[in-house]
């Protein structure tokens, strides 16, 4: 019996020796290769499923922007979602590899080490387990390679994206500085100067407060509904509906593309500001048409008010007195060969200029660089005393102001001195209204030849010298119902910063021109077509970013591993 045990012992030793010599050297690399291949294969399966998912609720879910966010748009892929995707790849690969290794070792142990065959298969079990454990090294190297590729792709993309953001932002700032773009709210009670309007998504009407090249995108922002919105004026942002970010009310089309020019009409009660404004608008429309351009109302209500006012004036009537509420701007969109403007014409009640507190409410005075100072000549004390009895009867047929223009100007300048530029304007137009009646008086003779000299002669010398110190340039005009359109157009165009050439006819009277007084703009603004993916799908930028990352992981990472393997083989050969 001992002999049998001895023979069995030597047989077992020989079998184990054979396995260690001939089987183990092959079993270890086979297990290593299989385990490594399984881990890398699992990674690519997860990467494919994650990075090709089209829905927001895929393996790596994409959170939708909040409805009440200041900018309900998706962040740029490389700033946020790429790291979510990398985390998903990690969490769906490493725990799986550890679990599969544990399960495989447990299965091998249960099957190969079961007595009595476990005594003979022990070397094979040891080789297979060793191969599985050794696979941790190449898998770690592979994980580092995948991480390096991910960081490299994200880093290169972020550099390119940063350059685009910087260049687009710089180009827009230079363009707006060159065009001297001014943005302001035209609505009463607000009148705020704007750094940037709030833009509405044409699909879901969500308001985007910072639609510029930034962390939400360089060329486009993707709204939570999937619409892709342009980030700069040059890319088409002006084709979106714009709103004041302070009061939420609509702004004119093309705002940001054309300069907003506030033009306040300043004068006392019944000074003739409203009549002058409508006559000036008609002259401007006439001059714009003659110069090959267009001048149109932004809002239909302004067009209707204009048409009604001209009909009343042409019929010999008087315009209704302006109400005491804060004025809403009459908005006129003007395009000429020499330039573009969006004019905000402010015609406040004269009573709003009769008290310092009231003047302070007219915050639109803080933004502009031009204004029209309207003087009712019959409000001048010296002129009233100089009128004869017959001339007084003539003047009584005309509504006149009781406010001395010098007092109006002093209150205005006191408020403007609080501005950063101390109230200095580039252009001020001084208009003596009711000139058609003034010329019929003895004191009004010669007013058309030298308006400035005439004003000095009736006691406004100090007033006009104060104006000339306040403005870079001052022009004068005597205006009445019979004033030639070309004279009004020239002055009004000058104060608006738009030179007008030559006389012309009102566009409404020009045959062959499509010119009604409906709301519109001189440059037919085609609304932005909000192309994009349905809201249940990930944005196109995310799909492209994921595609680049998947390609890089598929091509660069295996290439790096192959080169690393060849280098190691050549070193240890």
CATH of the domain at 280: 3.40.50.300
CA distance 3 to 529: 95
If one counts every other C-beta atom within 10 angstroms of the C-beta of residue 552, the result is 17
Residue keyed to tokens 């001395």? 404
* 145 inside domain: yes
Averaged pLDDT, 222-227: 91
Which pLDDT does position 510 carry in this prediction? Answer: 40
Give one DSSP letter per residue of 218-239, joined into a string.
SSEEEBTTSBEEESSTTTTGGG
Given 471, 490, 509, the domain boundary residue is 509
Residues 107 and 117 in one domain: yes
Query: Domain check: are 57 and 134 in the same one?
Result: yes
CA distance 482 to 201: 48
Closest CA to 230 of 238, 220, 239: 220
Q: Say if 514 falls within a structural domain.
A: no
Higher-confidence position of 442 and 421 = 442
Asked if 412 and 327 sit in the same domain, the reply is yes
Q: How far is CA 499 from CA 284, 424, 493, 530, in A?
A: 10, 22, 5, 37
Residue-wise DSSP of 432-464:
E--HHHHTTSSTTTTTTT-HHHHHIIIIIHHHH
Of 157-161, 282-286, 515-519, least confident by mean pLDDT is 515-519
Show which of 466, 492, 509 is a domain's final residue: 509
Same domain flag for 289 and 399: yes
DSSP 108-166: HHHHHSSTTTHHHHHHHHHHHHHHHHHTHHHHHHHHHHHHHHHHHHHHHHHHHHHHHHH
- Residue 526 included in any domain: no
Rg (Cα) of the chain, in Å, rounded? 40
Residues 495, 372: one domain? Answer: yes
Number of domains making up the chain: 3
Pair 390, 453 in one domain = yes
How far is it, in rounded angstroms, from Cα 384 to Cα 382?
Answer: 5
Among the listed residues 455, 320, 311, 488, the one whose alpha carbon sits nearest the alpha carbon of residue 399:
320
Express each pLDDT in 477-486 by its tens digit.
998 888 888 8
The pLDDT of residue 516 is above 70: no
Q: What is d(CA 229, CA 239) in angstroms, rounded to the nearest whole number?
A: 10
Examine the domain organization and report whether 240 and 268 are in the same domain: no
CA 543 – CA 197 distance, rounded (Å): 30
* pLDDT higher at 49 or 482: 49
For residue 520, what pLDDT is reported? Answer: 38
- Exposure string over 527-550, b if 16+ CB within 10 A, otherwise e: ebebebbeeebbbebbbebbebbb
Mean pLDDT taken over the chain: 83
> Is the domain of 152 the same as that of 202?
no
Task: Read off the pLDDT of each residue in 4-13 and give the average, rounded to a whole number.
Answer: 66
Task: Report angle CA 175, 181, 184 to the nearest 5 degrees.
Answer: 145
Q: Are residues 247 and 278 in the same domain?
A: no
- Residues 302, 399 within the same domain: yes
- Domain assignment present for residue 75? The answer is yes
Angstrom distance (rounded) from CA 480 to CA 166: 53
Tens digits of per-residue pLDDT, 78-127?
A: 999 999 999 999 999 999 999 999 999 999 888 888 877 777 778 888 88
Q: 13 and 158: one domain?
A: yes
What percent of the chain clears pLDDT 70, i.e. is strictly above it?
87
How large is the angle between the packed helices 81-91 and 540-572, nearest 10 degrees? 50
Domain that holds residue 18: 2-174+539-572
Where is pLDDT greater, at 315 or 4? 315
Dig out the tokens for 566 from the structure. Answer: 């060849």
Q: Is 250 in the same domain as 151?
A: no
Q: How confident is the model at residue 564 (pLDDT cuts 50, 70, 90)?
A: low
State the sign of the Cα–Cα–Cα–Cα dihedral 236, 239, 241, 244: positive
Domain end residue (candidates: 193, 226, 257) = 257
């Amino acid at each position: 019996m001992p002999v049998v045990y001895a023979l069995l012992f030597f047989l077992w030793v020989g079998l184990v020796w054979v396995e260690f010599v001939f089987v183990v050297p092959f079993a270890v690399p086979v297990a290593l290769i299989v385990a490594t291949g399984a881990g890398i294969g699992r990674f690519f399966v997860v990467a494919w499923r994650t990075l090709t998912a089209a829905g927001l609720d895929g393996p790596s879910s994409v959170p939708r922007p909040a409805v009440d966010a200041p900018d309900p748009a998706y962040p740029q892929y490389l700033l946020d979602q790429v790291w979510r995707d990398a985390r998903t790849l990690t969490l769906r690969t490493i725990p799986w590899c550890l679990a599969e290794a544990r399960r495989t070792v447990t299965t091998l142990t249960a099957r190969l080490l079961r007595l009595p065959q476990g005594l003979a298969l022990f070397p094979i079990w040891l080789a297979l387990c060793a191969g599985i454990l050794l696979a941790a090294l190449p898998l770690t190297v592979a994980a580092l390679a995948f991480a390096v590729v991910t960081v490299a792709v994200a880093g290169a993309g972020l550099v390119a994206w940063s350059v685009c953001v910087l260049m687009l932002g710089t180009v827009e700032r230079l363009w707006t500085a060159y065009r001297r773009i001014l943005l302001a709210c035209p609505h009463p009670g607000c009148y705020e100067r704007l750094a940037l309007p709030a833009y509405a998504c044409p699909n879901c009407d969500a308001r985007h407060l910072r639609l510029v090249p930034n962390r939400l995108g360089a060329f486009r922002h993707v709204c939570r509904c999937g619409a892709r919105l342009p980030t700069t004026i040059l890319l088409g942002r002006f084709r979106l509906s714009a709103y004041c970010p302070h009061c939420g009310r609509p702004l004119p089309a093309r705002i940001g593309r054309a300069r907003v020019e506030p033009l306040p009409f300043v004068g006392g009660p019944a000074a003739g500001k409203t009549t002058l404004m409508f006559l000036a608008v008609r002259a401007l429309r006439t001059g714009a048409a003659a110069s090959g351009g267009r001048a149109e109302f932004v809002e239909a209500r302004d067009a209707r008010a204009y048409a009604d006012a001209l009909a009343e004036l042409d019929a010999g009537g008087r315009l209704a007195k302006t109400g005491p509420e804060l004025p809403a701007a009459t908005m006129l969109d003007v395009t000429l060969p020499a330039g573009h403007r969006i004019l905000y014409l402010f015609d406040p009640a004269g009573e709003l200029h009769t008290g310092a507190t009231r003047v302070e409410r007219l915050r639109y005075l803080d933004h502009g660089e031009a204004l029209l100072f309207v003087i009712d000549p019959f409000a001048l004390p010296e002129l009233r005393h100089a009128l004869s009895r017959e001339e007084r009867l003539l003047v009584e047929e005309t509504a006149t102001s009781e406010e001395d223009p010098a007092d109006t100007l002093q209150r205005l300048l006191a408020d403007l001195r609080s501005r950063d530029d101390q109230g200095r304007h580039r252009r001020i137009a001084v208009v003596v209204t009711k000139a058609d009646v003034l010329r019929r008086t003895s004191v009004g003779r010669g007013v058309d030849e030298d308006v400035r000299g005439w004003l000095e002669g009736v006691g406004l010398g100090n007033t006009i010298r104060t104006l000339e110190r306040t403005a870079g340039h001052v022009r004068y005009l005597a205006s009445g119902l019979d004033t030639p359109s070309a004279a009004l157009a020239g002055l009004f165009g000058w104060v608006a910063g738009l030179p007008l050439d030559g006389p012309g006819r009102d566009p409404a009277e020009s045959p062959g021109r499509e010119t009604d007084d409906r709301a519109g703009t001189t440059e037919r603004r085609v609304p932005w077509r909000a192309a994009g993916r349905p809201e249940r799908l990930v944005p196109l930028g995310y799909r492209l970013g994921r595609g680049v990352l998947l390609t890089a992981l598929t091509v660069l990472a295996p290439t790096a591993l192959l080169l690393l393997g060849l280098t190691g083989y050549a070193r240890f050969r």
